[in-house]
């Protein structure tokens, strides 16, 4: 069974190729960034932002385009950790920690378990009626519209400061009590639903035998 799993082997060709590509893109990019900072053209936070943006976008493209599912999941992890770095740049430490814990840990692990239990090696190759051209067209249209609208709008300067952890928790549980309870009920219902969903089909074969 294990040789059928889509796990990357030790000398996986795609991982080596991906590492070389990332190195070829990342090293000149990093050198250019450091040079720009030293020359005083961009500030240090901007450099961190550009590096995080590169990681996020490369990971997202890999997550969408890579044929092997485990490689796509690893790219998704890179993207989500880059998003955590962007949260840090936006002065919300708590959400950065939650992002790494919940997404980088829990969600990706859950997705990998799902991939292995459904034994889906590759994204099935579709020979007729592929949706990729339409998807690319719609996606680029959406991105273009958003960027055109964003650039033409006027935005102010940052006004916020860091919310410390203790203030965050206090205000969360004092001012948002009802939403917290609603979310707790939602999580409860989701867990119960998932359990019932998986148990239902385990109980069904004995019933057929009894009939």
Residues of span 99-138 touching another protein by CB under 8 A:
99, 102-103, 106-107, 110-111, 113-115, 117-120, 123-124, 126, 130-132, 134-136, 138
Say how many Å lie between the first and final Cα of the chain, rounded: 34
Q: Does 206 bind another protein (CB under 8 A)?
A: no
- Token pair of 54, please? 């590169």
- Token pair of 85, please? 């770095």
Q: Does 168 bind another protein (CB under 8 A)?
A: yes
Asked whether 177 and 169 are in contact (CB, 8 A), the reply is no
Give the interface size with another protein as a residue count (CB under 8 A). 83
Taking the complex as a whole, how short is the minimal distance between the CB of residue 114 and another protein, in angstroms?
4
Selected binder of another protein within 60, 97, 100, 104 (CB under 8 A)? 60
Q: Does 55 bind another protein (CB under 8 A)?
A: no
- C-beta closer to another protein: residue 150 or 210: 150
- Token pair of 95, please? 């959400």
What one-character DSSP code corresponds to residue 157? -
Asked whether 148 and 92 are in contact (CB, 8 A), the reply is no
Selected binder of another protein within 27, 32, 91, 181 (CB under 8 A)? 91
Of 63, 58, 98, 56, nearest in space to 80 by CA: 56
- C-beta closer to another protein: residue 24 or 191: 191
């Amino acid at each position: 069974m294990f040789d059928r799993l889509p796990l990357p082997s030790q000398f996986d060709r795609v991982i080596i190729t991906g590492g070389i590509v990332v190195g070829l893109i990342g090293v000149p990019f990093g050198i250019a960034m450091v040079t720009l900072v030293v020359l005083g053209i961009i500030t240090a936070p901007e450099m961190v932002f550009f590096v995080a943006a590169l990681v996020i976008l490369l990971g997202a493209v890999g997550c969408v385009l890579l044929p092997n599912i485990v490689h796509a999941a690893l790219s998704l992890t890179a993207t989500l950790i880059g998003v955590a770095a962007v949260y840090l740049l936006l002065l919300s430490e708590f959400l950065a920690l939650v992002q790494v814990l919940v997404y980088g840990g829990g969600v990706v692990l859950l997705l990998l378990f799902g991939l292995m239990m459904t034994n889906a090696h590759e994204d099935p190759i579709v020979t007729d009626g592929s949706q990729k051209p339409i998807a690319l067209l719609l996606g680029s249209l959406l991105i273009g519209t958003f960027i055109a609208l964003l650039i033409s709008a006027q935005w102010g300067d940052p006004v916020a400061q860091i919310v410390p952890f203790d203030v965050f928790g206090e205000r969360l549980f004092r001012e948002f009590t009802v939403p917290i309870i609603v979310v707790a009920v939602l999580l409860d219902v989701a867990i119960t639903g998932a359990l019932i969903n998986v148990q239902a089909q385990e109980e069904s074969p004995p019933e057929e035998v009894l009939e």
